[in-house]
Structure 1
Amino acid sequence: MAAGVEQQGRRSFWLKHLHQWHWVSSALCLIGMLLFAITGITLNNARHVEAKPTTVTKETTLPEALRPALSVGQGAVPAAIVDWFSAEMGVDVSAGVPEWSDDELYIALPRPGGDGWATIAREDGAVLHEVTDRGWVSYLNDLHKGRGTGTIWSWFLDIFAVACLIFCITGLFLLHLHAGKRPSTWPLVGLGLVAPMLLLILLIH
């Protein structure tokens, strides 16, 4: 009798804590999982989702007083040029990826849902800036992939992935604790493993 009471106590302890971790992780993951499920569908059916990109191009000239900054010829975009882009064109190039050549400074400005770039001719200071917007579906798809989203979103994806792991692992232990009264538990879990494996083996080459 004492052993049975002790076993029941351990079961209650684990059920309580697993349920707590499970519901907290599910609450944290809910919106993110909905987003990733929806964008998983849109990514998988990208050929059926029409995108109508719009492109905006701006041309101007870098002031002569700032052109000596282009003589650096390597490394990050000079701070003076970053400030000028922000003040004159409303563009933040501080996080851009600079590529220096003999003729120009090219700055890649990747962004979710589109593309962007800027060039500065090193001889005459001619500036060309272009932004392409592919719409909200493309924006959400890029959030899913982490494309052009920066460090903070990358951290969020890692934290979200950990929360999803906690949700799945606690769910697995809860299945184990309830499996005795639900005989279909492990056949269903096995189906979730076997079905994609069969598809990979039989249909994907």
Structure 2
Amino acid sequence: MASFLARFGTLRQWHWISSALCLAGMLLFAVTGITLNHAGQIEARPSVHTLEEQMPEALLAQLDAPADALPVDVRRWLERTVGKRLDWRSLEWSDEELYLPLPRPGGDGWLSVDLGSGELLYEVTDRGWIAYFNDLHKGRHTGVLWSWFIDGFAVVCVVFSLTGLWLLVRQAGRQALTWPLTLAGALVPLLLMLLFIH
């Protein structure tokens, strides 16, 4: 390992660069680990925004039968009415209604159109900033880019941890508590899992 690191930089360089790259992410995941662990004790007051509207007859007539794609005019009207761009990939279209789930970090939402009456119902629930960051921690409804970030962040954390371990190996002779503390860091969670989590 030492010869590999020497080829691409010193051990300390790898350690400080990986620590700099994962600092913000590690703080985020550490703090949200605490908030997730105490989610039942943190009071949340979700706010719910509801919109009811009537779809124009001319647009409703374009929805006489389910198809592969929603007509462009209908999509534009729905997005203009709710005031945001929508992701139509999970649209459910039956003979009775259009239904679009709109999950997101820190909240939820949905849109439905009754195909008989043309009634549009749109609801968005916001559970607050703590719920938002907790969902980022879990990767819940965050999309593919955030998923890639979490994977990349995990790789950088592994580099940070392994270079830290290698630095411990090199410095162990000068610090008598190096291995007892390292062993405790490994044994405490293992013992808790084996003895108290069933």
Q: Where on the TM-score scale, by shorter chain, does this alignment land: which range?
A: 0.7 to 0.9
1:172 alignment partner in structure 2: 165
Asked if the contact 1:77/1:94 (under 8 Å) is kept, the reply is: no
Q: List alignment gaps of at least 5 residues for structure 1.
A: 1-8
Task: Tell me whether 49-58 or 67-76 shows the greater mean CA deviation.
Answer: 67-76
Task: Tell me whether 130-139 or 85-94 shows the greater mean CA deviation.
Answer: 85-94
Task: Tell me whether 131-140 or 79-88 shows the greater mean CA deviation.
Answer: 79-88
Question: Partners in 1 of 2:65 and 2:148 — Cα distance?
Answer: 33
Is residue 2:54 matched to residue 1:61? yes
**Among 137, 140, 153, the residue aligned to 2:130:** 137
- Paired residue type of 1:83: R
Is residue 2:6 matched to residue 1:24? no
- Paired residue type of 1:186: W
2:120 alignment partner in structure 1: 127
Q: Cα RMSD over matched residues? A: 2.4
Q: Report the secondary structure of 1:128's partner residue.
A: strand
Is residue 2:37 matched to residue 1:44? yes
Is residue 2:188 matched to residue 1:195? yes
**Among 152, 155, 160, the residue aligned to 1:162:** 155
Q: List alignment gaps of at least 5 residues for structure 2.
A: none
In the TM superposition, what is the alpha-carbon distance from 1:13 to its structure 2 partner? 4.5
Identity %: 52
- Paired residue type of 2:155: V
Asked if the contact 2:66/2:94 (under 8 Å) is kept, the reply is: yes
Asked if the contact 2:65/2:95 (under 8 Å) is kept, the reply is: no
Alignment of 1:64-83 (within 5 A): 64-71=57-64, 73=66, 75=68, 77-83=70-76
In the TM superposition, what is the alpha-carbon distance from 1:18 to its structure 2 partner? 1.4
Task: State how many pairs are aligned.
Answer: 196
Query: CA offsets, 1:19-55, max 9 Å, x none?
Result: 1111111111111111111110000001110000111
Query: CA offsets, 1:83-136, max 9 Å, x none?
Result: 222222213222562223331111100011111100011223211000111111
Question: Partners in 2 of 1:185 and 1:77 — Cα distance?
Answer: 63
Question: Partners in 2 of 1:160 and 1:77 — Cα distance?
Answer: 38
Q: Report the secondary structure of 1:93's partner residue.
A: coil
Change in Cα spacing, 1:112 to 1:180, as seen in structure 2 (3 Å) is same
Change in Cα spacing, 1:186 to 1:124, as seen in structure 2 (3 Å) is same
Question: Partners in 1 of 2:71 and 2:141 — Cα distance?
Answer: 21
TM-score, scaled to structure 2: 0.88
Change in Cα spacing, 1:183 to 1:111, as seen in structure 2 (3 Å) is same
